[in-house]
Structure 1
Amino acid sequence: MKFQGTEAYVATDDLKVAVNAAITLQRPLLVKGEPGTGKTELARQVSQALGLRMIEWNIKSTTRAAQGLYEYDAVSRLRDSQLGDDRVHDVRNYIRPGKLWQAFDSDDQVVLLIDEIDKADIEFPNDLLQELDRMEFHVYETGETIRAKQRPVIIITSNNEKELPDAFLRRCFFHYIQFPDMETLKKIVEVHHPGIKEALLTTALTQFYEIRDQQGLKKKPSTSEVLDWLKLILAEDLAPEDLRAGATDALPKLHGALLKNEQDVHLFERLAFMARRQR
């Protein structure tokens, strides 16, 4: 079972190696990188390429590790006992399986995505160590042990907002998605906007990389943002000359797709003002 990328996802050679190494080692693949570089989409494409169902666990700041195993609804059981409901005699009626339980209980192998693990509390990764390592966990209310019928392909993403514990990192195969170079980004654009004219694409991407490389930029625009920008450029039927003019006389054309805070907008306004004064 090898991942070779898909028609809808341009995977670099080192990313393919990382995915296949994690599958071979039967370890979670921890993927880091800037927001918008395709980390979440990677899991979806691995699922599609390997023909495996995907289970997605989106992590929030309030998410607890135990929720990935199961949740016991004691409040509902108490209410049902007060109402004399017969369901109350079987505790299983009040246990809701989490995403890990669903992945472990699947008869077929699945891809389990644990998305943006760095959003959760710092103890969250440590609380999953044993479960991910042993592929099993204990349900205290019923006394049963849930073991993985088929070891899932686990992909964990992180935006690097906080450091992950060393013990957790030891159990993962790690890959950092570098921001794509010009040629790779052209291939990505071709997937999403096939047939875009070479002159327009080259001019747009040259300007895009100049924006990303600008000193003092608070948030660099990402891959997803340049795709949105190009979609707007095509919708407005802009020519390369329009983009060149915008680069020297004012803010970049349709800059709201690329610059996402007032500090960066002010930075480019100042640069444009200084450029006009020097003429």
Structure 2
Amino acid sequence: MNQQQLEKMQTGKGFIAALDQSGGSTPKALRLYGVDESAYQSEEEMFELVHTMRTRIIKSPAFNGDSILAAILFKRTMNSKIDGKYTADYLWEDLGIVPLLKVDEGLAEEKDGVQLMKEMKNLDELLVQAKERRIFGTKMRSVIKENNPEGIKANIHQQFDYAKKIIAAGLVPIVEPEVDIHAEDKAAIEAAVHDALKAELEQLDSDAKLMFKLTLPEEKDRYLDLLAFDQVVRIVVLSGGYSREEANRRLKDNKELIASFSRALSEGLNVNQTDDEFDAMLKDTIAAIYDASVNKN
């Protein structure tokens, strides 16, 4: 584990940029960027276009380690290069941004009010590759849609099972059991998620390190006490379908939590913007998300 990167993740001011759209979410991300399906004829072409979009974001003067602590990458982005360097090396060596990797393979069918992660059959191989590419940590997402005690427990338990394998490989996992923002009894679900996370933490080795990525809660500071555990490096939040303005407003109400936004980060960016227009919009977006992450109500 890179101790300089760990220190930045624990104490640095800023937020995490999520640039990890995968096969299922890439077409939507490209459409929002102004690139529709007619612009590509194959999955390979689609991923080339999204890498071009991500590269434009990363190489913007606004995208730097002063405001951004880390960036979450998709596997193909990790294995692609920017200015002749693998993306993780470019992020850390040129920008001072910690590289993270999305490792899950998507969601299983809904059962008991939740969507677990599909089995990660190639996780061991991917973790070896991540270490070769000098990745600091990982991210994996599951979803909770209903206040079903058995489903919530299974969801959190699966996250921790994989987290322990990732920790054993020498990487820092981000555990992301997303609560659907449209779920009925969202506040009650979040209370159950909090308790399940706490129960798993109490059983986790004291020298383990992990992070949480959670939905912006209905109750202010719902997850704040989890930071008292030595194992917890940071708690970050996803925008989850809220507009950037609403997500930032909610974030400011939660002490110590920082953003890890994807759609809300790229909101308003367009392939047809000039570089000056693109950079100006991204600069304003980053400034607003940074402010919500470090300046609390």
Give me the TM-score of the superposition, normalised by structure 2. Answer: 0.30
Q: Indicate the structure with greater helix content.
A: 1
Give the greater-gyration-radius structure (CA): 1
